[in-house]
C-alpha cells in the first residue's frame, strides 16, 4: 500500500507575524518557517502505518518555491521514503493545490492520502476536501483515530456532538486533527539519511492546472487591541456597568 502525504511550509507557530506598512499582506522577511503542525501529524500517522507493516511506501509532496525542499527534507527525516516538490512561485490557493495533487495522485496511484486538516497560515481547511471531490474518493475529516484493515479504513472524527466513526473503502482521503498522535522529532542520523533520499522537482505549470488566483486580497489589518479589564465588587455593580456603560443588556 502506498500512502501519499501533502505538507505545507508555513511561518513557524512561535513567530509573531507583522502586517506590512501598506497593509497589502503579511511581512514574511526574516521569519522562521517550518512544516505546518497538522501536516506533521499526517506524516507521523503515515510513518506509523508503515512501521506496522500496513503501508509499503510513504511519499510526501508539497507545492511552492524551492524553499519548500527544506520542509520536504524534514518529512523525509521523520520517515517518509521519497518526496515530490511541485515548484511554483505563484501564491496558489486551495483549489489549485488540490488540482495539482490530483495530477500526482493519478500518477502515483496511492491507496491512502493524508492531509493536515488545515494550515495555520490561512486556516482554510479546504484542500483535503477539494482533493477528495476531484478524485471522487471517500473522505474522513478531523481524524482523531485511524484504524486500517486490508480493504477498509475506520476513521474516528471529531464533530460538534462528540465523536463519529466512519468506515471508508480504499482509496480514501483523511485529514488529521491534533489528537490523532504526537509527531516524533527527527533525529540527527535520520536528518543525515534524509539528504540522500530521492526528491523529485516538477514544474507546477507543466501539469496543465490553472494556478491564477481566484481571490484578491484588498487589505490586511492586525486584530484590534483588547481593552483592559476591570474588577467589580458585586453582581449588582456588574449588571449596572453592563447596562449603563457597555450597553449590552
pLDDT for 63-115, tens place per residue?
Answer: 999 999 999 999 999 999 999 999 999 889 999 999 999 999 999 999 999 99
pLDDT tens for 132-142 read: 999 999 999 99
What is the SS3 string spanning 104-153?
HHHHHCCCEEEEECCCCCCCCCCHHHHHHHHHCCCEEEEEEEEEECCCEE
**86 is a domain residue:** yes
Bond preceding residue 134 cis, omega within 30 of 0: no
Average predicted confidence (pLDDT) for the chain: 91
Task: Kindly report the pTM of this predicted structure.
Answer: 0.85
Number of domains in the chain: 1
In which band, very low, low, confident or very high, does the pLDDT at 150 lie, cut at 50, 70 and 90? confident
**138 is a domain residue:** yes
**In the predicted structure, residue 172 carries a pLDDT above the cut 90:** yes
Among candidate residues 194, 182, 158, 246, the one with its CA nearest the CA of residue 81? 194
**84 is a domain residue:** yes
Note the pLDDT of residue 197: 95
**169 is a domain residue:** yes
User: Which residues constitute the domain of residue 57?
Assistant: 2-244
Specify the DSSP element, H or E, that contains 45. helix 37-51
Among candidate residues 144, 84, 97, 135, the one with its CA nearest the CA of residue 113? 135
Note the pLDDT of residue 18: 86
Tell me the C-alpha distance between 83 and 201, whole Å. Answer: 9
Contacts of residue 44, Cβ cutoff 8 Å, sequence gap at least 6: 78, 181, 182, 183, 184
In which band, very low, low, confident or very high, does the pLDDT at 6 lie, cut at 50, 70 and 90? very high
Q: What are phi and psi of 27, to 5 degrees?
A: -75, 110
Domain of residue 29, CATH code: 3.40.50.620
**In the predicted structure, residue 144 carries a pLDDT above the cut 90:** yes
**In the predicted structure, residue 240 carries a pLDDT above the cut 90:** no
Note the pLDDT of residue 105: 96
**249 is a domain residue:** no
Q: Do residues 9 and 67 lie in contact, with contact meaning Cβ atoms separated by under 8 Å? A: yes
Out of 28-32, 133-137, 200-204, pick the least confident.
Answer: 28-32
Could you report how far apart the first and last alpha carbons of the chain are, in Å? 60
pLDDT tens for 40-52 read: 999 999 999 999 9
**203 is a domain residue:** yes
Amino acid at each position: 500500500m502506498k500512502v501519499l502525504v501533502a505538507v505545507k511550509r508555513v511561518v513557524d507557530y512561535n513567530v509573531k507575524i507583522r502586517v506590512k506598512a501598506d497593509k497589502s499582506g503579511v511581512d514574511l522577511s526574516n521569519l522562521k518557517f517550518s512544516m505546518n503542525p497538522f501536516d506533521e501529524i499526517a506524516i507521523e500517522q503515515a510513518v506509523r502505518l508503515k512501521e506496522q507493516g500496513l503501508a509499503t511506501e510513504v511519499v510526501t509532496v508539497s507545492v511552492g518555491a524551492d524553499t519548500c525542499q527544506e520542509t520536504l527534507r524534514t518529512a523525509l527525516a521523520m520517515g517518509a521514503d521519497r518526496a515530490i516538490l511541485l515548484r511554483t512561485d505563484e501564491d496558489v490557493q486551495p483549489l489549485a493545490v488540490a488540482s495539482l495533487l490530483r495530477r500526482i495522485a493519478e500518477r502515483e496511484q496511492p491507496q491512502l492520502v493524508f492531509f493536515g486538516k488545515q494550515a495555520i497560515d490561512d486556516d482554510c481547511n479546504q484542500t483535503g476536501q477539494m482533493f477528495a471531490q476531484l478524485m471522487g474518493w471517500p473522505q474522513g475529516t478531523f481524524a482523531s483515530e485511524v484504524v486500517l484493515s486490508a480493504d477498509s479504513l475506520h476513521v474516528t472524527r471529531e464533530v460538534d456532538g462528540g465523536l463519529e466513526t466512519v468506515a471508508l473503502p480504499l482509496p480514501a482521503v483523511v485529514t488529521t486533527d491534533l489528537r490523532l498522535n504526537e509527531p516524533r522529532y527527527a533525529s540527527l542520523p535520520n536528518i543525515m539519511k534524509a539528504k540522500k533520499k530521492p526528491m523529485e522537482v516538477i514544474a507546477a505549470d507543466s501539469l496543465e492546472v490553472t494556478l491564477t488566483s481566484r481571490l484578491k486580497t484588498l487589505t490586511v489589518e492586525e486584530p484590534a487591541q483588547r481593552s483592559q479589564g476591570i474588577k467589580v465588587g458585586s453582581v449588582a455593580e456588574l449588571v449596572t456597568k453592563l447596562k449603563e456603560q457597555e450597553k449590552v443588556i
